[in-house]
Amino acid sequence: MQQISPNHVVGVTYTLTLSNGEVADFAEEANPLMFIHGIGQTLPAFDENLNGLKIGDNFTFSLTAEDGYGEYDNNWVINLPRSVFGGDDVPDDLLQVGAMLPMQDQDGNPLDGKVVSFDENIVTMDFNHPLAGQTLNFTGKVMSIREATEEELDHGHVHGQGGHHH
């Protein structure tokens, strides 16, 4: 029987809960999480906790903030001039407290920021990952394991059922 190891396509169901009991994410049998193990599609510590499991195995583990999305960093909460969010191609209702906005850093790299507050001059954005500073508690089950195809490895994602279609 196959075991989870690098370069295998893995399908899992899971529930991700935070320390306060809030369910932050999940994948059910009808739509399992499909990923290529060991190539950076999931958190490295997530992959490590699944190493060696077989189809039908259940798992329960927790990841510290350090092994998850990092500690919350107040330096990633930034005040930007409101003019950054202006222009003819920007919707009038774009600025809503709590909205996640796709943005770019000064080097053109994409990053998402959450609107914390705004007034007529300043928009305060939080660029921390939404799960930064959180302990991540996973419970789930391994549903499928197969070797990734050369094409999947070349493209860096799963093809076919549960994956990408070209």
Tens digit of each residue's pLDDT (9 = 90 or more) over 80-128: 999 888 766 666 678 899 999 999 888 988 999 999 999 989 999 999 9
Residue-wise pLDDT for 129-141, tens only, equals 999 999 999 999 9
Q: How confident is the model at residue 45 (pLDDT cuts 50, 70, 90)?
A: very high
Q: Write the single-letter amino acid at 53.
A: L
Closest CA to 139 of 62, 48, 54: 62
List, by residue range, all CATH 2.40.10.330 domains of the chain: 74-126
Question: Which residues does 78 contact at the CB level (< 8 Å), separation at least 6?
Answer: 113, 124, 125, 127
Closest CA to 14 of 51, 48, 62: 62
Dist CA 100 CA 141 (whole Å): 31
CATH class of 74-126: mainly beta
List, by residue range, all CATH 3.10.50.40 domains of the chain: 8-69+132-155
CATH topology of domain 8-69+132-155: Chitinase A; domain 3 (3.10.50)
Closest CA to 123 of 153, 140, 99, 148: 99
Q: Are 135 and 68 in contact (CB under 8 A)?
A: yes
This prediction's pTM: 0.82
